[in-house]
Structure 1
Amino acid sequence: MLIIDAHLDLSMNALEWNRDLTLPVSAINAREQGLTDKPDRAKATVSLPELRKGNIGLVVATQIARFVAPDNSLPGWHSPAQAWAQTQGQLAWYKAMEDAGEMVQINNLQTLENHLDLWNNGEDNSKKTVGYILSLEGADSIVTVDYLEKAHASGLRAVGPAHYGPGRYAQGTDATGGLRKDGPDLLREMERLNIILDATHLCDDSFWEALSIYNGPVWASHNNCRALVNHNRQYSDEQIKALIERGAVIGAALDAWMMVPNWVRGQSDPKAMNCSLDVAVDHIDHICQIAGNAKHVGIGSDLDGAFGREQCPYDLETISDLQKFKSLLSNRGYTEDDIKGMMHGNWINFLRKAWS
C-alpha cells in the first residue's frame, strides 16, 4: 500500500549527520560504527532505498535551522541570516537529489497528480523518484517576512512557525506565550501565498492565537496525544478538536518519548518500555474516536529526527516497516478504506483541497 510520511528531516540527516541517503540503511550504519558524536550513530532507519522498499512514495521533507538569542541554551545559529543560509544549503541538497533522479519536488496539484500516477502504475518502485513537499520546521530562518516569498518561489509549501523553545515568530515546545511581534504578519503572508500552517510544536498560547489569525489550510505533520503522554509537546483533546474542525490531518509521530509516558532519554529502552508500533495506533485511535471517523489521521513518523532505533518502536528496523501499520489498524477493526486513508488518502485529500 502506498504510504505518505508527512515529516522527515532528510536534509538535516544528509548535511548535519553526514549521511548519504542514496545508500541502504545498512551501509549508512556500517559507516557510522564507532562514532560517538551523536547518540543515534549507527542506528539510522531512513534512506531513499528504504523509502522505496516500503512503498513510501511521497514525504514532507524539512528545512530546519534555529536562531538562538544569547540567553537561549538550545543549539542554533546566532543570527537569522546564518539560519537562512543553513536552510538554503539544505535546499541545495534536495536540488542535488532531483538532479540525480532520486527525488522530485511536489509543489502544486499537477505535480501531485503526476507523481501519484507514477507510484500507482503497478511497476517496480526500486527506480522511482521519491516525491517531497518542502516544509520549514521553525520559521526563525525567515530573516524578514519578505523572505517568505523567496522561499515559496523555491517550493516551500508548509511552515511550522516555531520548533523548540522561544522562536522569532512564535513560542514552541517547552516555551510559553503567544505569537511574537512579527508572528501575525508571518501568518498573513503565509495565507496570501497559500502556505500550509503546520501547527506542530506551537505552545498552547501560540497555537490558539495562530488559529485565530490564520484562515488557510492547517495540518499537524507530527503530533501525538496529551491524554496518553502528558507533555506540552502533545495535543490536548481540545486542540485536537479544533484541528478537526479546521479540516486538519494529524500525523502520528514515532519518537518514543512522545509515544509512551515516563520515557527517560538516553536511559529508557523501547522493548522494556513496551514501545511498539501498536502504541502509535493507540494515539491514532484516540484521535479517530474524538473525530468520530478516520479522516483526520496520517503518518508523520519523524524517524531519524535526531534519534534512531534507540528511541523508536522496537518492532521497526527501518522506515519500510511502516507497512506494518496496515495489519495493526486492521486488527483494531478499521476498514480497508479507513486504512488507505490513514496510510495516504487523508494527506492526498488534504492537499487536493489546499491546492485546488
Structure 2
Amino acid sequence: MFTIDAHLDLSMNALEWNRDLTQSVEAINRRECGLDDKPDRGKATVSLPALREGNVGLVVATQIARYVGPDNPLPGWHSPTQAWAQTQGQLAWYKAMEDAGEMVQVKDLSGLDSHVKLWSNDAPNAKKPVGYILSLEGADSIVDLSYLERAYDNGLRALGPAHYGPGRYAQGTDASGFMGKKGQALLKEMGRLGIILDATHLCDDSFWEAMDHYHGPVWASHNNCRALVDHNRQFSDDQIKALIERGAVIGGALDAWMMVPGWVRGVSTPLGTDCNLWKMLDHLDHICQLAGNADHIGIGTDLDGAFGREQCPYDLETIADLQKLPDMLAKRGYTAVDIEKVMHGNWLRFLRNAWS
C-alpha cells in the first residue's frame, strides 16, 4: 500500500552521519562496521532503496540545526547564522538528490497530485523518485523573519518552532516556558506564507500559546501519547483533543522510549521491553478513541532520528517493514477505508486542505 512517512531526518543522516542514502540499508551498515562515534552505527533502518521497497513514496523530510547558548549542554551551533548555514547544506543535499533523480520536492497541490499519480502506476518503484515535503525541525536557524520567506522560496512547507531544550522562538522537549513576542511574530509570518505548524516537540506552555496564536494548518508529524508513556515529549489527552479540533493529523513515532514506559537509554532493549509495532498501534488506538474515528492518525516514524535498531521495534529490520502495518491494523479491527487513511489518506487529505 502506498505509504507516507511524515518525519524523516534524511539530510541529517546524509551529512552528519555521512550515510550514502542511495545505497541499501545493508550496504550502509556494512560501511559502518567497527564505528562507535554514534550509538546507532551499523544499525540503520532507512535508505532511499528501502523506502521504495516499502512503497513509502512520499515523506516529510527535515532540515535541522539547533542554536545553543554558552550555558546550553545540548549539541548544536554557536550562532544562528551557523545554524542557517547548516540547513543550507542540508538543502543542497536534497537538491543533489533531485538532480540525481532520487528524490523530487513536493510543495504545492499540483505537485502532490502528480506525484501520487506517479506512484499509483505499475512501473517498478526502483524507477520512481521519492517525494519529499521540506520541513524545518526547530526554528533556531531562522536568523530573523526575513529568512523565513527565503526558506519558503526554497520549498519549506512545515515548521516546528522548537526541538529539544530552549529555543530562540519557542521552548521544546524537556524545557518550559512560553514563546513570547518573538515566537508569536514567527507564527504570524508562518501564517502569511501558509507554512504548516508542526506542534511536535513544543513544551506544554509553548504548545498552548501556539494553538492560541496560530490560525493556519497544524499537524504533529511524530508524536505519541502521554497517557501511555508519561513524558513531556508526548501529548496529553487535552493536547490531542485540541489538535483533533483543529483538524490535525498526528504521526505515530517508532522511537522505543516513546512507545513503551520505563525505557532507559543504553540499558533497555526492544526485546527486553517487548517493544514491537503493536505498541505504536496502541498509541494510534488511543488517539482514535479520543477522536471517535480514524481521521487524525498517520505514520511519522522518526526512524532515522539519531537512533537505529537498538531503539526501535524488534519486528522492524528496515523502514520497508511498515508494510506489515495494514494487516496488523486489520487484525485490530480497522476497516479497509481506515487502513488507507492511516497509511496515506489522512496526510493527503490534510495537505490538500492546507494547499487548496
Contact 1:169–1:179 at 8 Å: present in 2 too? yes
Unaligned runs of 5+ in 1: none
Q: Please state whether the residue corresponding to 1:182 is helix, strand or coil.
A: helix
Question: Which residue number in structure 2 is paired with residue 133 of structure 1?
Answer: 133
Contact 1:103–1:131 at 8 Å: present in 2 too? yes
Q: Distance in 2 between matches of 1:32 and 1:127?
A: 27
Q: Distance in 1 between matches of 2:213 and 2:78?
A: 29
Measured after TM superposition, the shift of residue 320 of structure 1 is 0.2
Normalised to the residue count of structure 1, the TM-score between the two structures is: 1.00
Q: Please state whether the residue corresponding to 1:146 is helix, strand or coil.
A: helix
Code of the residue aligned with 1:15 in structure 2: it is L
User: Is 2:298 aligned against 1:278?
Assistant: no
Measured after TM superposition, the shift of residue 181 of structure 1 is 3.5
Deviation string 1:88-110 (CA, Å, 9 cap, x unpaired) is: 00000000000000000000000
Contact 1:168–1:180 at 8 Å: present in 2 too? no
Measured after TM superposition, the shift of residue 122 of structure 1 is 2.2
Code of the residue aligned with 1:211 in structure 2: it is M
User: Is 2:21 aligned against 1:24?
Assistant: no
Question: Which residue number in structure 1 is paired with residue 94 of structure 2?
Answer: 94
Q: Distance in 1 between matches of 2:304 and 2:161?
A: 21
Question: Which residue number in structure 2 is paired with residue 287 of structure 1?
Answer: 287
Code of the residue aligned with 2:221 in structure 1: it is S
Measured after TM superposition, the shift of residue 23 of structure 1 is 0.2
Q: Distance in 2 between matches of 1:93 and 1:12?
A: 10
Q: Distance in 2 between matches of 1:341 and 1:81?
A: 40
Deviation string 1:214-235 (CA, Å, 9 cap, x unpaired) is: 0000000000000000000000
Question: Which residue number in structure 2 is paired with residue 108 of structure 1?
Answer: 108
Code of the residue aligned with 1:132 in structure 2: it is Y
Question: Which residue number in structure 2 is paired with residue 233 of structure 1?
Answer: 233
User: Is 2:319 aligned against 1:332?
Assistant: no
User: Is 2:313 aligned against 1:343?
Assistant: no
Q: Distance in 1 between matches of 2:3 and 2:46?
A: 14
Deviation string 1:203-262 (CA, Å, 9 cap, x unpaired) is: 000000001000000000000000000000000000000000000000000000000000
Question: Which residue number in structure 2 is paired with residue 37 of structure 1?
Answer: 37
Question: Which residue number in structure 2 is paired with residue 53 of structure 1?
Answer: 53
User: Is 2:165 aligned against 1:165?
Assistant: yes
Question: Which residue number in structure 2 is paired with residue 67 of structure 1?
Answer: 67
Q: Distance in 2 between matches of 1:25 and 1:127?
A: 18
Q: Distance in 2 between matches of 1:225 and 1:312?
A: 17
Unaligned runs of 5+ in 2: none
Measured after TM superposition, the shift of residue 347 of structure 1 is 0.1
Q: Distance in 1 between matches of 2:162 and 2:223?
A: 14
Contact 1:250–1:297 at 8 Å: present in 2 too? yes
Q: Distance in 1 between matches of 2:324 and 2:163?
A: 29
User: Is 2:209 aligned against 1:209?
Assistant: yes
Q: Please state whether the residue corresponding to 1:29 is helix, strand or coil.
A: helix
Q: Distance in 2 between matches of 1:17 and 1:183?
A: 31
Measured after TM superposition, the shift of residue 124 of structure 1 is 1.3
Deviation string 1:73-129 (CA, Å, 9 cap, x unpaired) is: 000000000000000000000000000000000000000000000000122111100
Code of the residue aligned with 2:345 in structure 1: it is G
Code of the residue aligned with 1:31 in structure 2: it is R
Contact 1:252–1:301 at 8 Å: present in 2 too? yes
Measured after TM superposition, the shift of residue 304 of structure 1 is 1.4
Deviation string 1:249-288 (CA, Å, 9 cap, x unpaired) is: 0000000000000000011010110000000000000000
Question: Which residue number in structure 2 is paired with residue 122 of structure 1?
Answer: 122
Measured after TM superposition, the shift of residue 190 of structure 1 is 0.2
Question: Which residue number in structure 1 is paired with residue 143 of structure 2?
Answer: 143
Q: Please state whether the residue corresponding to 1:342 is helix, strand or coil.
A: helix
Q: Please state whether the residue corresponding to 1:197 is helix, strand or coil.
A: strand
Code of the residue aligned with 2:272 in structure 1: it is A
Q: Distance in 2 between matches of 1:323 and 1:143?
A: 40
| Percent identical residues | 75
Q: Distance in 1 between matches of 2:48 and 2:304?
A: 13
Question: Which residue number in structure 2 is paired with residue 298 of structure 1?
Answer: 298
Question: Which residue number in structure 1 is paired with residue 308 of structure 2?
Answer: 308
Question: Which residue number in structure 2 is paired with residue 263 of structure 1?
Answer: 263
Q: Please state whether the residue corresponding to 2:127 is helix, strand or coil.
A: coil
Q: Distance in 1 between matches of 2:352 and 2:59?
A: 15
Question: Which residue number in structure 1 is paired with residue 153 of structure 2?
Answer: 153
Shift >2 Å, 4+ stretches: none
Q: Distance in 1 between matches of 2:295 and 2:2?
A: 16
Code of the residue aligned with 1:55 in structure 2: it is N
Contact 1:171–1:180 at 8 Å: present in 2 too? no
Normalised to the residue count of structure 2, the TM-score between the two structures is: 1.00
Q: Distance in 2 between matches of 1:298 and 1:95?
A: 27
Q: Please state whether the residue corresponding to 1:136 is helix, strand or coil.
A: strand
Q: Distance in 1 between matches of 2:191 and 2:94?
A: 25
Number of residue pairs matched by the alignment: 356
Q: Distance in 2 between matches of 1:222 and 1:145?
A: 26
